[in-house]
């Protein structure tokens, strides 16, 4: 029986996440498995990987063969490096302290790279939000200017209409006064 470390698919259509499982190579993809050693969610940026490091290392040392994707995940988490260093310790090429020191320096570098990526994603997202807010504020200001211009035109039109109405009233009053004066003049004569 050959044992594989592989992914088992879960989730809905076009939004999959995976369990990292140890299974018989003859078992179906989402079928029976021996042990679940973690999960992998490629939908987040960076991808979320939860892995039981010790179980994965133990299964690799027992001879389980990872699939290509699982090999990449195990390499990303450092399981393959730890296995390689442990083989060196077993052969007597390096001591356990040297292996632990190499692994710890690698892990520290990897953590700093991951944190740098997360920080760069956050800053780029923050910058994109600032640009979007600035663009929206410019549009809002342009709309406000347009509305103010329209309101000023309306106010000017209303003022002109009022002035015309008052002028018409004044002209009417003047004609009424002239007519009254003429009627008085004709009445006196």
Query: Residue 59 and residue 62: Cα distance in Å, rounded?
Result: 5
pLDDT at 189 over 70: no
pLDDT at 186 over 80: no
Give the model's pLDDT for residue 165. 87
- What tens digit of pLDDT does each residue of 66-84 get? 999 999 999 999 999 999 9
Per-residue pLDDT band for 172 (boundaries 50, 70, 90) equals: confident
What mean pLDDT comes out for the span 100-114? Answer: 94
Query: Residue 34 and residue 20: Cα distance in Å, rounded?
Result: 11
What mean pLDDT comes out for the span 182-186? Answer: 76
Percent of the chain with pLDDT over 70: 98
- What tens digit of pLDDT does each residue of 32-66 get? 899 999 999 999 988 999 999 999 999 999 999 99
Provide the token pair at 65.
Answer: 């063969």
Query: Residue 78 and residue 106: Cα distance in Å, rounded?
Result: 8
CATH number, domain 3-94? 3.30.1320.10
Give the model's pLDDT for residue 1. 63
Q: Which residues pair with 17 in a beta bridge?
A: 10
């Amino acid at each position: 029986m050959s044992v594989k470390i592989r992914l088992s698919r879960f989730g809905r259509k076009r939004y999959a996440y995976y369990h990292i499982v140890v299974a018989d190579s003859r078992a179906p993809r989402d079928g029976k498995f021996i042990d679940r050693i973690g999960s992998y969610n490629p939908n987040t940026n960076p991808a979320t990987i939860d892995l039981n490091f010790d179980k994965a290392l133990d299964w690799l040392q027992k001879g389980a063969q990872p699939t290509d994707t699982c090999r990449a995940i195990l390499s990303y988490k450092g399981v393959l490096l730890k296995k390689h260093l442990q083989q060196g310790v077993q052969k007597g090429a390096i001591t356990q302290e040297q292996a632990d020191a190499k692994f710890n320096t690698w892990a520290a570098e990897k953590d700093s790279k991951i944190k740098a990526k997360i920080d760069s994603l956050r800053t780029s997202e923050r910058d994109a939000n600032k640009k979007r807010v600035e663009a929206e504020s410019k549009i809002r200001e342009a709309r406000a200017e347009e509305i103010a211009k329209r309101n000023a035109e309306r106010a000017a039109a209303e003022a002109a209409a009022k002035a015309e109405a008052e002028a018409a009233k004044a002209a009417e009053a003047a004609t009424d006064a002239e007519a009254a004066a003429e009627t008085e003049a004709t009445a006196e004569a």
